[in-house]
Structures are given as structure tokens and as C-alpha cells.
Amino acid sequence: MIVLPTFFLTELCDETDDGALKVTIPESPNSKAKTYYRRKVKNDNGSSCCIRLHEYNFFPVVVSSNGAPWPEANLYILRKLESLVKPSMSTLQLVAADLTDYKSFVDNEGIEPFVFPKRKLLRPTYRYRNSSIIKAQAGEVSLNTIKRRVASVISFYNWVQKESIEQLENPPWTEKTVYMPINSTYGSSLIRKVRSTDLSIKSVENKNPYSERILDGSELKPLTPDEQLILFKTLNDLCNPEMTLVHLIAFYTGARIQTVLTLRISIFHKTVSHTTKEVRVKVGPGTGVDTKNDKLMTLFIPTQLFEKIQTYVSCSRACKRRTLAIADHSDYLFLTNRGAPYYDAKSQLSVFDEHNTKKRPNNGQGVRQFISKSLIPQIRKIHGFENFTFKFHDLRATYGLNLTDNQLELVRKGNSNLFKAREFVRARMGHASASTTDLYLQYRDNVSLIRQSQLSYEEYIQALAQKTLGALHDIC
């Protein structure tokens, strides 16, 4: 797969048509030179202004093993893009990467992607599925990755058949009906009827209720109190105001990285009362601040932290960064030393930039690089936490667990009850399902139990080993 920084759709035209551009393909050993004319495709309403429907940034191109574009797959990507109200290029890039992997497989195996023999196991889709499973078993790729890749291939062939792009002699799979259990918002179990195929890869989800990680979108590890202290001590030692504030906001609000990095300066212009413990900040659609699944939420920022951010906004360091930014970026709270946002907001990615030269939008990679290259090595080397691991999203789990501990303490004192504690944590964390909140409520007891069990087990093994070794000595 390759990514085009800018892409606009064109159509063949005559030399005399408005906007006609001459294109010349030079002569090659296998063909003569060719010349044709093309022009940009106009909007459906016939106007070339207003909404630019056929121009995109970060457009993914599916390529064959020889580097040539795969026409059918790229037409699929384009049609998929045009059908979405709010297209996500990062999602489409994953689809394109999956189809590129599939095309590479059929090319290397000498398979025609639209020739489906009568024998099922010789069809391209089944051969790709079986090859992918072997790769997963060998540890070359994760099971989740091949499940996603096969799903992308299924969606592609669904479109091929629906649009009659190619006539397949035999079906690419066998369909079946399955019933899937799902959890509602309040934790009740429902059954949903869905169509599936025999290409779908089954995997047994191994949820360990006694794991030291919390499954909240992904596997997160809450930081222990000691780790929390050493994390922020190290941030202070590194003297990077942006990174320190970014981590503090996530730690005190549970906000995800795209939310923290798309916060706007205008949010922090208001005056706050010193008697107020927290400042409410709305994020999500209409605020300019991104959230997961475009969910409207409220962040509760401690007043002291809010005032620290206000001080940062007016400092010379932040002002210098804003002077380097283009007009559309000057309202971002956090900018790099080159005046670029650490994370491109969805609202700006939806606007075509004809001057774009990047192949990937900014998505927080600067923060992740700081964590891996500076923060973690410093904690391991200077503070002796040799096995310390950390990812930014762990701050969300840390916030959730700290919040849960506080609420459960109120329950123990008789100032609240478990239902109120659960709903409070769920609202602050923005959980769609209460079952996710329950993971936080159960975490401390589960971890305590497993550590006690581990200790007892180790003591048993040690006693058994000593007894066995003693008996072995007597024999010798």
C-alpha cells in the first residue's frame, strides 16, 4: 500500500473541454508513447466550488507485488470513501493495507483473484484464509490481525458481487446464520442474529478476571501509587512543559490521547473561582475537541491544573510555538516546536489541503515517541524501575481506578452505595456499558486475591522442593 498526500478524481475529456489537462505517457520497450486529456471531476451539483467532494488527503492505494495499482480494489476504496458521511482515512488505510496483503498473496501464489474453481479449497479466499492461520500459528502475525484482514477481503468480494464488477463462477464462501450475545448499556445480555461466512476465523476470547490489566477498549495497566509518583517526578526532571501537562490532564480526567491533544486555547480563557474544585469542560461534536466515537462528554479538570494551563498558554514558550503555526492550527492548546499540532482534529482532516505533503496525519506519535525514547528509559535508569512499562492510555485506567477507590471508600463509610459508586465512575469515564465499569470495581479484590494465591503457591512449591532435595541427598 502507498499513501498519496493529495488525491483528486479525474475523468477523460476532449482537448477543448474546460479544465482539460494534457497527459503524455512516454514510450517504453513494450508500447508506444500515448497522449490523452483529463480534467477534475466536478461536484454532483455541477459546481466546482463549495464542498470539494472528489479531493482527498492521505488517500490509500492498493498495489500489486510489482508496484502497480490494483484497479478493482482501488475503485472499492474510492466507492467506500464516497459513501461515508464522515470518512476516516486511518480506517481506509487499514482496509487498503489488508487488500494489499491479499493481492501480494495471490500474486506470489500465481492465483487469479477472480477465478473461483469448483473445488472450495482451491478458491483464492479459502487459500488466503488457511495461509493466514498458518502464519498466526507460527507467530508471524497476531490472530486479531488476520481476522481483520479476512474480514476486509470478505467485504471487498461482497462489493464485487453486488456491483457486478466481476462474474465469479463459484461463490467465494458459504454463508450461515449465527446468534451472538451482546451486552446492553446497563450490562444486560441480548442475543443478536447476524450473517456470517465459513471464512470467518474463530478465536476463543480468554478473559482472565484475575488479570492485573483492565480491558477498557484495549488492555490497560493501572499504575501503582509508587509508579504514579515516580512518573510525575520523572516528568518534572525532564523539564518538558507540554508533555507534563498532557500527562497531567489524562491523569486527572481520564481523557484519551486524541481528546487531550485536540484541546483548544479558547477553552481556558474563562475566569474560574478559587472556591471551585473542578472546572467542567465539554468535549466532542461541536466543541472542536475530538472524542472516541464522537461522543459528547464533560471533562472535570481540577482548578489548580486549569490555572496551570492558563499560565502555560500565556508563557513565551507557548506563544513562540503559536507564531510558527498556520492560522488553522493556532487555537490548539499543544503544538510542537515547529508549530504543528500533535494530533490533527477530525474537523481539519475533513478539509482538503492541496499543499499537504505528509503521508500520515499527526496522531499523537510525538507523545508516544517521548514516552518510549525519554520517559521510560529515564525511569528505568535513574530510578531503578528496571521492568517499568507504560503507555499513555494506561493513565485512563489509572484515573478510573483512583476514582473507583475514592467511591468505594465513601461506600465503606456509609456515605454512598455501590449503585451510586458505579454510576458515578461510569459517567466520569464515559463508559457505554456498565460491564466495563464493573472491571474497575472488581479490580482491587481480584488483584489482591491472585497475589495472595501466588504467594501461597510459591511457598508450597518452595517447601516441596526443599523436601524433595533433602530426600535426594539421603539417597545419594
- Encode pLDDT of 132-142 as tens digits: 999 998 989 98
Asked whether residue 156 falls in the same domain as residue 230, the answer is no
Q: Is residue 200 part of a domain?
A: no
Q: Which of 368, 389, 410 is the last residue of a domain?
A: 389
Strand partners, 302: 278
Statement: residue 45 has pLDDT above 70? no
- What whole-number distance in Å separates Cα of residue 278 and Cα of residue 302? 4
Statement: residue 449 has pLDDT above 60? no
Q: Is residue 196 part of a domain?
A: no
Asked whether residue 374 falls in the same domain as residue 429, the answer is no
**pLDDT for the residue numbered 48:** 44
Mean pLDDT confidence for 126-148 = 92
Nearest C-alpha neighbor of 89 from the set 350, 356, 340? 350
Asked whether residue 72 falls in the same domain as residue 157, the answer is yes
Task: Identify whether the C-beta of residue 437 lies closer than 8 Å to the C-beta of residue 420.
Answer: no
Asked whether residue 46 falls in the same domain as residue 116, the answer is yes
Q: Helix, strand or coil for residue 229? A: helix
Entry pTM: 0.77
Asked whether residue 422 falls in the same domain as residue 316, the answer is no
Q: Helix, strand or coil for residue 115? A: coil
The per-residue pLDDT for range 231-243, each reduced to its tens digit, is 999 999 999 999 9
Asked whether residue 145 falls in the same domain as residue 288, the answer is no
Strand partners, 301: 279
Task: Identify whether the C-beta of residue 62 lies closer than 8 Å to the C-beta of residue 69.
Answer: yes
Q: Helix, strand or coil for residue 218? A: strand
Q: Is residue 179 part of a domain?
A: no
Statement: residue 282 has pLDDT above 70? yes
Asked whether residue 44 falls in the same domain as residue 144, the answer is yes
- What whole-number distance in Å separates Cα of residue 298 and Cα of residue 304? 18
SS3 assignment for 240-260: CHHHHHHHHHHHHHCCCHHHH
The per-residue pLDDT for range 85-109, each reduced to its tens digit, is 777 888 899 999 999 999 999 999 9
Q: How many domains does the chain have?
A: 3
Quickly list H helices, 289-417: 303-314, 316-324, 346-349, 365-370, 376-383, 394-412
Q: Which of 139, 171, 203 is the last residue of a domain?
A: 171
**pLDDT for the residue numbered 450:** 46
Q: Is residue 421 part of a domain?
A: yes
- Report percent pLDDT > 70 for the chain: 85
Where does residue 363 rank: exposed (0-12), middle (13-18), buried (19+ CB within 10 A)? middle
pLDDT: which is higher, 463 or 422: 422
- The three cell numbers of residue 95 are 482496509
Q: What are phi and psi of 330, to 5 degrees?
A: -70, -15
**pLDDT for the residue numbered 51:** 47
The Cβ of residue 5 has, within 10 Å, a number of other Cβ atoms equal to 16
Mean pLDDT confidence for 120-145 = 93
Mean pLDDT confidence for 215-226 = 79
Residue whose C-alpha cell is 479558547: 266
Look over the chain and give the mean of its residue pLDDT values, rounded to a whole number. Answer: 85
**pLDDT for the residue numbered 424:** 84
The answer for residues whose C-beta is within 8 angstroms of residue 402's C-beta and 6 or more apart is: none
Q: Is residue 66 part of a domain?
A: yes
The Cβ of residue 471 has, within 10 Å, a number of other Cβ atoms equal to 9
Asked whether residue 309 falls in the same domain as residue 253, the answer is yes
Statement: residue 212 has pLDDT above 70? no
**Displacement of CA 243 from its chain's centroid (Å):** 20
Task: Identify whether the C-beta of residue 52 lies closer than 8 Å to the C-beta of residue 61.
Answer: no
**Displacement of CA 123 from its chain's centroid (Å):** 33
Q: How big is the CA angle at 319 (ends 317 and 320), to the nearest 5 degrees? A: 65
Asked whether residue 419 falls in the same domain as residue 286, the answer is no
pLDDT band at 187 (very low <50, low <70, confident <90, very high): low
**pLDDT for the residue numbered 188:** 59
Statement: residue 248 has pLDDT above 70? yes
Q: Are strands 10-12 and 278-283 parallel, antiparallel or unpaired?
A: unpaired
String of DSSP letters for 275-307: T-SEEEEEEBTTTTB--GGG--EEEEEEHHHHH
Statement: residue 227 has pLDDT above 70? yes
The per-residue pLDDT for range 409-441, each reduced to its tens digit, is 888 888 888 888 888 888 888 877 777 777 777
- What whole-number distance in Å separates Cα of residue 440 and Cα of residue 401? 6
Mean pLDDT confidence for 36-40 = 91
Least confident interval from 171-180, 299-308, 316-325: 171-180
The per-residue pLDDT for range 340-398, each reduced to its tens digit, is 999 999 888 888 888 888 888 999 999 999 999 999 999 998 888 888 899 999 999 89
pLDDT: which is higher, 264 or 458: 264
Asked whether residue 335 falls in the same domain as residue 382, the answer is yes
**pLDDT for the residue numbered 467:** 53
**pLDDT for the residue numbered 49:** 44
First to last CA, the chain: 66
Q: What are phi and psi of 465, to 5 degrees?
A: -65, -45
pLDDT band at 339 (very low <50, low <70, confident <90, very high): very high
The per-residue pLDDT for range 319-337, each reduced to its tens digit, is 999 999 988 898 999 999 9
Q: Is the dihedral of CA 290, 295, 296, 297 positive or negative?
A: negative
pLDDT band at 281 (very low <50, low <70, confident <90, very high): very high
Asked whether residue 66 falls in the same domain as residue 150, the answer is yes
Q: Is residue 394 part of a domain?
A: no
Whole domain around residue 288: which residue ranges? 224-389
Q: Is residue 256 part of a domain?
A: yes
Task: Identify whether the C-beta of residue 167 lies closer than 8 Å to the C-beta of residue 191.
Answer: no
Nearest C-alpha neighbor of 333 from the set 423, 241, 217? 241
**pLDDT for the residue numbered 457:** 46
Q: Helix, strand or coil for residue 133? A: helix
**pLDDT for the residue numbered 161:** 95
**pLDDT for the residue numbered 50:** 42
**pLDDT for the residue numbered 462:** 57
Q: Is residue 113 part of a domain?
A: yes
Statement: residue 204 has pLDDT above 60? no
Q: Which of 321, 354, 389 is the last residue of a domain?
A: 389
Listing from the earlier edge strand, what are the strands of the sheet with 10-12? 10-12, 34-40, 21-25
pLDDT: which is higher, 7 or 218: 7
Asked whether residue 237 falls in the same domain as residue 372, the answer is yes
